[in-house]
Structure 1
Amino acid sequence: MKLYFSPGACSLASHIVAREAGLDIELDQVNLGNKETASGKDFRTINAKGCVPALELDNGELLTEGPAIMQYLADRNPASGLAPAHDSIARYRLQEMLGFISTELHKRYSPLFNPNSLDSVRAESIAALQRQYGLLDKRLAEHEWLVGDHFTAADAYLFTVTNWAAHVGLDLSAFPAVLTFQKRVAARPAVQAALGAEGLIPKQ
């Protein structure tokens, strides 16, 4: 399998899940500015959406969209516990959380990365993010992980998008449980390996 990624982008969550699952995947970095891959291809000929992550399967098929990719990767190693069993309420709780992170956090960051966003739009996004982080802080003050009693794909996703806060000036100091969660996830060996491979920290 080959994962198309951009350092620190939402594709980091899929990268973390792959490493947590112990999967042997090839990485191909995408320059999101010119849409060129490190292997010299026009990424748009691979994924017409032009967005990471994209996962090229062993049979040549392409899978896109982070939540789908994370669940696919987790299911390659069920024993990892990264995704609960199909047709269990826990699996739907995972999908519930992935959907929440995707719509209420991930997309809310987009205006903050856009230098042309109006101040009013930025303020609205920051206020919305802080409301949602308030909910997550309550959850994480009582539970170590978002779903069940162990690390799942949802935790990888929350860790990834929350890492963006410092880059866009979003103050999370009011959410100590979220900040503690970030440190807890960052300390995991597979997460350290993924961050190192993407050049975000020195390689382990």
Structure 2
Amino acid sequence: MPQLSKVSGFWNTSATHHTAVEDFQGLLTGAMVSSLGFFLLGKAGLLTGGTAGVAFLLHYVTNTSFGFWFFLVNLPFYYLSIRKVGWDFTIKTFVAIGLTSLITEIQPQLLGFDKLNPIWAAVLGGLLLGYGLLALYRHRASLGGVGILGIYLQDRFGIRAGLVQMTFDIGVLIAAFFVVDPFIVGCSVLSAVVINLFVTINHRKDRYIVLR
């Protein structure tokens, strides 16, 4: 069976290289888990940092689609990605963001909650986004924006991606005080901390390589 799998090309035994099938399932599952995290945050009226936080702010202010804003806000960062990271990473990230935006939009038609505590939504949503990001990083992709910059700085200069993200998150969450009430901002801060600590602890280049 292992020999047949190797010949068929479904997966690769190398720790740093993946087949197209492996990349596809990584991007799809990463997007699905991430979209569930975004869904929980949005359902509780929360937000997070990074470009997703900006998309949430625009979503709440304009009462329009989060998925649309998330896709749109990330567009300027693809130039940095192409110039500094490469086409492979950029294309996979574009696909991951597109899938995440789409799945987040259809999620309410497939899933609902009678009760969702904002604090629990912050913790669980943060963990889901952390897992989703880790899955995407494993296959040389991200959820765009500051994540692209964070991955580049970590793999080139050793600056943890989670710390780069956290710095930007602080600015986004400060802006949130003008849009939502302080309790929701506090829960959103908790979610951002959970995401970034999870990524900081678990995303290490000595375990797998995002950029080559």
Q: TM-score range by the shorter chain?
A: 0.3 to 0.5
Point out the structure with the larger strand share.
1
Q: TM-score, normalised by structure 2?
A: 0.33
Q: TM-score, normalised by structure 1?
A: 0.34
Greater relative contact order: 1 or 2 (C-alpha under 8 angstroms, separation 6 or more)? 2
